[in-house]
Structure formats: structure tokens, C-alpha cells
A = this chain, B = another copy of it.
Amino acid sequence: MKKELYNQLLELSPQLKKEFLPSISIDCVVFGFHDASLKVLLLKLNGSKEWGLPGGYLHKDEDLNEAANRILKDRTGAQDIYLNQFKTFGKRNRSEAFFKDFPDDLWHKQRYVSIAHYALIDYSTVNPVVDTFSEACEWKDINDLPEFMMDHEDIFNAALLQLRRDLNYKPVGYNLLPEKFTMPELQKLYEIILDKKLNRGNFYRKMTRYAILEKLNETRKGGAHKAPDLYKFDEEKYKAALANGLQESW
């Protein structure tokens, strides 16, 4: 790490110690979907070779979910994004070693238990924010990831696993697809998230059982094949499924 970054962080340390709870950090895995590709938002600290997840700390008088949303907003400008808190990472030495060459009075040099969240958004709608500590904040393709700092690769992998599991009881797609879409387009979204091909008939039947789609009296025109039907999400049913789980689940 660059000497200047260390000096920057050290200067801030007394204030951070006053404002935030000790030993607790928050990390956000922000998945971005757009045009048939899935990316994740990563940043690179000044002078560091490795990339990390956007994160921060919990104010002494702030609710945990407020803190996670504040951190996400600071990084992306995005507001009112639903964050899924999915796992807390608490192995010893997960963070302590990162600043091991620096004096103990550095706020960042302590054992942190990190409360991880993930979100899935249309990345064309947000603007990654580079702060004074970072030299880059970028969307990276999940199939071509750089080297991660600390245990952030574990956190990323756990987030992706959880996102995939959540497809079993939560709907997905709203705000990621255009308002009207075809069943193959929706299937493609699932296939990209799951990173596997799905059987077309099974997908259609399962989606139909979820009862969150409204079939429109329109078709997608212009292709060489038979024009496929257009659908949209039934907003009320979609929201109910988000709150209470999909009908297909137990």
C-alpha cells in the first residue's frame, strides 16, 4: 500500500473510532445485469494490486440496514435498492493481516466481522463512484474476475451461491428486463445467473406455476421464427412473491 494512503487513513482513525462500532464491517456484493451479462462492482484501493468489495462501517447510532444502504449509495449513487443480507463472515485473521505492517493505532487494523449483503441491479442505471481512497471502481465480468483482497473472493462466491438459491423462492427480473419480454428472454436471465442451460419446457411450466407473469396479447415481431408471446410481470403478485415466497415453494 502507498505511504500516502496509509497517512490518509491514519489521520482519519480517531474520527472513525469515535463514529463507528468497533470490529464490525459491512460488505456489499453488487451484481449488475445488462444485455445478457452479469457483472460485479469492485474497487481497487490506491496502490493496491488486488480488488475488493465496496464496504464500510456501522455508525454507533445507525441501524444495520441503514448502514448497508448508505454504503451502497455512496458507491453507486443508487438509492432504494433492496439489499439481501446473506451471511456474516467471522473467521479470525480474515482482515487482521491486511494492515499487518502498520501501527496499531490505525482504525483499519483490527479484527472485523463483516456482515455481507448482495443486490442485483441493472448496471446501466448506476454510476460507480471512485473515492479518495480508491483508484478504480468498476464493473467486472463474473467470468473474468481480478485477484481479490482479504476473503472477498469467498464473500463473492457465497453471494453468488445465495443469489442462485434465492431463485427457488424469490422472483427475479423486475427492473432487469424490459417491461415486456418473451419467455426465452426470461429464461436467458435465469441461465446467466445460474450459469447453466435450462430445459425450455421445464422452465415454461415452472414459471407458469409461479403465477407472477401476465401474458399479453402481443408477440415479439421481426424474427425469422414464429413470433414469441410477450409477457410482463404482474406487479402485485411479483411483490407478494418477493415478500412471501413463490407459490411453487413448499
Whether B250 and A194, one on each chain, are in contact in the complex, defined by CB atoms closer than 8 angstroms, is yes
Contact in complex: A168, B250 (CB < 8 Å): yes
Tell yes or no: A85 within 8 A of B by CB.
yes
Q: In the docked arrangement, what's the CA distance between A87 and B111, Å?
A: 20
A24-B23, A63-B90, A85-B88 known; A113 vs B58 contact (CB < 8 Å): yes
Contact with B along A1-44 (1 / 0, CB 8 A): 00000000000000000000111100000000000000000000
Q: Mark A212-250, 1 if CB is under 8 A from B, else 0.
A: 000000000000000000000000000000000100011
CB distance A167 to B24 under 8 Å?
no
Are A63 and B91 neighbours in the complex by a CB distance under 8 Å? Answer: yes
- Within 8 Å by CB of A92, from B63, B87, B115, B198, lies B63
So how many copies of this chain end up in the complex?
2
* A165 x B245 contact (CB < 8 A): yes
In the assembled complex, A61 has its CB within 8 A of some CB on chain B: yes
**For residues 85 through 104 of chain A, which have their beta carbon under 8 Å from a beta carbon of chain B?**
85, 87-92
Which label, helix, strand, loop or mixed, suits the secondary structure of the A interface? mixed
Q: How large is the interface on A (under 10, 10 to 19, 20 to 34, 35 or more residues)?
A: 20 to 34
Q: Are A250 and B190 in contact (CB under 8 A)?
A: yes
A190 and B198 alpha carbons, distance in the complex (Å) = 28
A interface, CB within 8 angstroms of B: 21-24, 58, 60-65, 67, 85, 87-92, 111, 113, 115, 164-165, 167-169, 190, 194, 198, 245, 249-250
